[in-house]
Structure 1
């Protein structure tokens, strides 16, 4: 399978006003990403972040399913990727319904990146127990899979009970959209093997993971070790095909960026077992963003044949 690339969509950059926070921006940027040859466009999920986090390098985020619905209406091929939905924030059947609707109406274009998250104040604001997030994550994935069957189902959850419920239409993708499991911990890797389709690592310098209170995945050794750990767990639980590895954005088009450097970086990731990655475009206007997306498509995406 050809190495595929995602692009971080710019709709979280509220500091630039209508340049990115408008329907015109959604249309222009989404169509530019699709025309450039990006496989997917990604959005994030922070419904109510704390001011301390925002003022120390955090960022705002629009509702992921609202944004991807608008992106879907403006495009025909671009995959619609969450990077990531913090699964424990919402009742799993609300999320299952949103995903099912989006996948059905977009003709099967959802890539569901999901994770347990790490922002304790956001958990508190949403009334969800932070310390239970990993158990809720596993539970909610199982609950959503039942909902996506389209059959009547029963499920006993944490604070909720389904006693013969049904969700239709089902997703176009069967049995459901690909589940890209975020998280760098060993528990996240086991979750990927047991419940997911791909591992969606956050590959960043150690100082960033220290700030985010998540396990460090920053270099080849970490990635290879994680892949080996998943292979071992596959053998333990009887999974025959290991999860693929779909990385979050690993390259930014900063001033003076090199197309060859980007190509070499992605080729290297491919050589150690990564199947997909992405880029971010640090533009301040939508015309600049679209031009840079086109340039990346011409100089990088069109040259990738691995």
Structure 2
């Protein structure tokens, strides 16, 4: 089994949990340059995040820099040719499924079928309140939104869905997605999110699970899918520790994996042994140039050793 690798792009979201100092002054040109480097290095996907608005109480930690995922992925689709385009994750419960379907179907059509729709429940109460969505019922809203989006992103020009929160039929939407079936990956690591991924998703995007928790989570997903007769391909993801290929010569943080390409590959191969299909990587860097160099070295010297 080949271990695929993807990346959440810098610049487009700037939480203090992971943003590097140089990103604060970066902009569209930097985002495009990194996206092109990611494609050149053979990455399976690039990913962007989703927040409509960040309340003042959280702005100090989260920042308010969160590019819109559809606009950003569409922009990057135009400057790349192969790499897949992942929303990691879209809080689709904040929007009507027909609106989301129109946006993401168009994105898939324009990109030649490169969309992976990553979805999650969301966690910022004020966003839901401002947009008139019940925060307390966001899990149930997401469950139904996935069903509605499956219908609206399917092959039918006039999709139909009848549920508790959304009801539509007789409204045509073209263009249709280029893919016969847009893959839906479900984000989150709570018991509810893992169950949702297993039973409603085509893949799972964990959120913050350390390595030692992954085997149990993966086993639960497999058990749930078997118990409920879920069939078809399923992509198990993982978010790797921060990386720096080589010896940095500067403080990269104690959790960062550093070393030779083989040392890093050996560490990452452990994910494949757990049953992980794709890893999302992140590199420590002090500039766009250093990040692009790290991406290139990873693609050329680490990735071939992941098999």
- TM class, shorter-chain normalised? 0.7 to 0.9
Map of 2:149 onto structure 1: 144
Deviation at 1:160, TM superposition (A): 4.4
Change (3 A) 1:261 1:114: farther
Map of 1:212 onto structure 2: none
Deviation at 1:124, TM superposition (A): 2.3
Map of 1:219 onto structure 2: 211
Map of 1:299 onto structure 2: 301
Match of 2:288 among 278, 286, 289: 286
Residues 248, 278 of structure 1: 8 Å contact kept: yes
- Of stretches 81-90 and 123-132 in structure 1, the one that deviates more from structure 2 is 123-132
Residues 147, 166 of structure 1: 8 Å contact kept: no
Change (3 A) 1:236 1:242: farther
- Of stretches 154-163 and 143-152 in structure 1, the one that deviates more from structure 2 is 154-163
Q: Pairwise mapping of residues 24-43 of structure 1 onto structure 2 (< 5 A)? A: 24-43=29-48
- Taking structure 1 as the reference length, the TM-score comes to 0.85
Q: Separation in 2 of the partners of 1:195 and 1:224?
A: 20
Q: Separation in 1 of the partners of 2:13 and 2:169?
A: 42
Change (3 A) 1:69 1:118: same
Correspondence 1:155 to 2:157 = no
Correspondence 1:230 to 2:221 = yes
Map of 1:194 onto structure 2: 199
Q: Pairwise mapping of residues 198-213 of structure 1 onto structure 2 (< 5 A)? A: 198-202=203-207, 204=208
What is the root-mean-square deviation in Å for CA atoms of aligned residues? 2.3
Q: Separation in 1 of the partners of 2:242 and 2:86?
A: 17
Q: Secondary structure of 1:153's partner?
A: coil
Structure 1 residues without counterparts, runs of 5 or longer: 205-216
Residues 152, 160 of structure 2: 8 Å contact kept: no
- Taking structure 2 as the reference length, the TM-score comes to 0.85
Map of 2:172 onto structure 1: 166
Q: Pairwise mapping of residues 1-306 of structure 1 onto structure 2 (< 5 A)? A: 1-12=1-12, 16=22, 20-22=26-28, 24-56=29-61, 60-149=65-154, 150-158=156-164, 160-175=166-181, 177-202=182-207, 204=208, 217-220=209-212, 222-241=213-232, 243-253=234-244, 255=248, 257-258=258-259, 259-304=261-306, 306=307
| Number of corresponding residues | 289
